[in-house]
Amino acid sequence: MTQPRKNIVSVTDTPYYHCIGRCVRRAFLCGEDEFSGKSFEHRRQWIVDRLNHLASTFAIDICAYSVMSNHYHLVLRLSPSKSKSWSKDDVIKRWQNIYTGGDLVRVYQSGKTLTKEQNDMLDIKIKLWKARLSNLSWFMRCLNEHIAVMANKEDECTGRFWEGRFKSQALLDEAALISCMTYVELNPIRANIAKTPESSLYTSIRERILQNIGKPHGAKALLPMEGDKADCHGLPFHLMDYLELIDWTGRAIRDGKKGKIQSHLPPILQRLEFDSGKWMAQQNHFGKRRYLVVGCNEKIRAMASRIGVKWMNGQGSPFWEPGIN
């Protein structure tokens, strides 16, 4: 049974989500249209720039991304606790990064004294805006609408640019998170449009590599990898281990995909005790079938119980067993 997005997106279960946006028109989101010969490569940078802007505005962090020819992948972390410290002026400023805010905000910012009714109305607006600035659907709306308007203007046409609402998956544990991030990072390699992670343009893995060598280029707002620190506020992985894992996974042959990296198995598999068979099975399932949730069976059952259903799309897939993650 199809589940409402509000049931799937809940920080009670997980703050991490895999989101996909796909273009509906033959004219590509990015890349080169083989029929007209027109290049749309510059649109990839539109998405990266917009991600930077939204990440600096919303209480939502970017874990991973890849921008392909007719779709993009994002792994996002909801961080509603960030918005708790925002003052009234902070919320207004952030909202005005995207929208004007309206006449009432302009009156407030001019320094004029507001009536009690106006103050009450402004407080209601600010409460609403703060909630929206922590909301996954609003983040994706502000990304997709902006790109669609720019593309329609450039194409001199009107109508739908995206296939529909974005698709999303809840990533219920660290194993699901790192597996999904790896899948997202390797999209250009699997599509045979890049040979190595460091040459995969418009991906978060390339940006992390560039940042590490002091040459940042793309999404500067990436959530940092802080490892297993007790006070970790970033991703619970070490960058070097993650790069090795990306490198190894990219070298393994994936069914139905043209591209891979040629290499030997790195030591990280022994250190983290990953089962290579289960790992590649999970990688394959990210591309072949869209599950609403991804994680160990124990956490999928817990989420199903919370929203009052007996079965969820994803429970029968070969994910990590409890205790491995």
DSSP 283-313: HHHHHHS--SEES-HHHHHHHHHHHT-S--T
Q: Is the pLDDT of residue 20 over 90?
A: yes
Predicted confidence at residue 212, as pLDDT, reads 72
Q: What is the mean pLDDT of residues 32-42?
A: 72
Q: Report the candidate in 285, 184, 193 with the shortest Cα–Cα distance to residue 242.
A: 184
Q: For the structural domain made of 5-79+135-307, what CATH number should be given?
A: 3.30.70.1290
Give 267's pLDDT tier (boundaries 50, 70, 90).
very low
Return the higher-pLDDT residue of 8 and 103. 103
Pairing of the two strands 60-67 and 16-22: unpaired
Q: Is the pLDDT of residue 26 over 70?
A: no
Q: Is the pLDDT of residue 322 over 50?
A: no
Q: Is the pLDDT of residue 36 over 90?
A: no
Q: What is the mean pLDDT of residues 99-107?
A: 92
202-260, pLDDT tens digit by residue?
999 989 888 876 665 555 679 988 777 667 688 988 888 888 888 888 877 666 666 66
Q: What is the mean pLDDT of residues 66-78?
A: 93
Using CA of residue 79, residue 292, residue 147, residue 206, what is the dihedral sign?
positive
Q: Is the pLDDT of residue 284 over 70?
A: no
| Lowest mean pLDDT segment, chosen from 208-217, 231-240, 295-304, 309-318 | 309-318
Average pLDDT, the chain: 80
Return residue ranges of the chain for CATH 3.30.70.1290: 5-79+135-307
Predicted confidence at residue 297, as pLDDT, reads 78
Predicted confidence at residue 12, as pLDDT, reads 81
Q: Cβ distance 320 to 276 under 8 Å?
A: no
